[in-house]
Amino acid sequence: MSAVNQKIGIEDCTYGWKSFKLLTKEEQNLVNENRYEATFKPGETIIKQGSPASNALFLGYGMAKSYIEGLNGKNFIMSIVQPGRLILGPGAYVDFRYTYTVAAITAVQACFIDFDIFRQLVRTNGIFAESLLEDVSNKSLMTLRQMVNLSQKKMPGRLADALLYFSDEVFKNDEYEMILTRQELGEMTNMAKECVVRILKDLEDSSVIYSDSSKIKILDKERLIRISEKG
C-alpha cells in the first residue's frame, strides 16, 4: 500500500486468477506484452458502462465497486472488486461494450489486457477457454442467486446478505470498515438509504451487530444468517 508508484508485474495482477496459470509460457508472454497499467484515485472511474469493451482487466491492488447505471440515474452495485478477479462483463462477447461501470473506492492500480488477445487465447487454448467459461458461469450463477435474493427477500434479509458478503467474501473478517456509504449500501440491496440506516439501527438495537457510521462488527452471526435466510 505504501509504494503506490511501484510497478507491479502481470504476475501480481493475475495472482489468484487460476485461468492465467493454464496458459503456456509463450501465451503468458503474449499477455504481458499487451498489458497496460494505470492508477486511480478513490472515486475515479476505471471503466465506464457503454464504452467499447476493448480490455479485460485486473486490479493490482485496491478495491473498486462495479455497478450498473440503471433507470433514472439509479445505480445498482453488483459487487466489490478486488485483486485476483477477472473483470470482463458479458457485453464483451455480445455488444462489445462494457456492461457495467467500475469505480475505485480506495487507491487502485489496474492492469488492462487487450481483449483481442483474450479472444485469441480462447480460440487457441481449449483449457483456457474452459476456464473462462467457468469464470463467466460462476458470475452468472451469482447474478441469478442475487436476483432471487433481491426479489424474494424483504429488506432486513437483503441487508443481512450484504453484511455477510462483506464479512465472508470481501474482508474475511467479522469486523470491518464499511467502505460504502449508506446510499451505496442501498444501491447494493435495492432500498432507500433511510431504510438502510433504520435497519442497521434495528440490528444494533437487537445486538446482532455493532455499527457506527464507518465500522461494522458482527456480534451474533448465527442470528444474522437466520435473518438472511428467513428473508
Residues at the contact surface with a second copy, assessed by CB under 8 A: 68, 70-72, 74, 76, 78, 89-95, 99-100, 119, 122-127, 129-130, 132-134, 136-141, 143-144, 146-148, 150-153, 190, 229, 231
* 62 interacts with, out of DNA, a second copy, none, CB within 5 to 8 A per kind: none
Residues 163-202: x where in contact with DNA by CB under 7 A, - otherwise, as a string: ------------------xxx------xxxxxx-xx-xx-
Nearest 10 degrees: Cα torsion 165, 170, 140, 69: 90
* 213 interacts with, out of DNA, a second copy, none, CB within 5 to 8 A per kind: DNA
Dihedral sign from CA coordinates of 88, 94, 98, 101: negative
Strand partners, 40: 108
Nearest to a second copy of 78, 104 (CB atom) = 78
Q: 3-state class of 91 per DSSP? A: helix
Query: Among all chains, which residue has been given the C-alpha cell 442467486?
Result: 145
Contact criterion met (CB below 8 Å) for 102 and 114: no
* 155 interacts with, out of a second copy, DNA, none, CB within 5 to 8 A per kind: DNA
Q: Give the count of beta carbons closer than 10 Å to the beta carbon of residue 169.
A: 12
* 18 interacts with, out of DNA, a second copy, none, CB within 5 to 8 A per kind: none
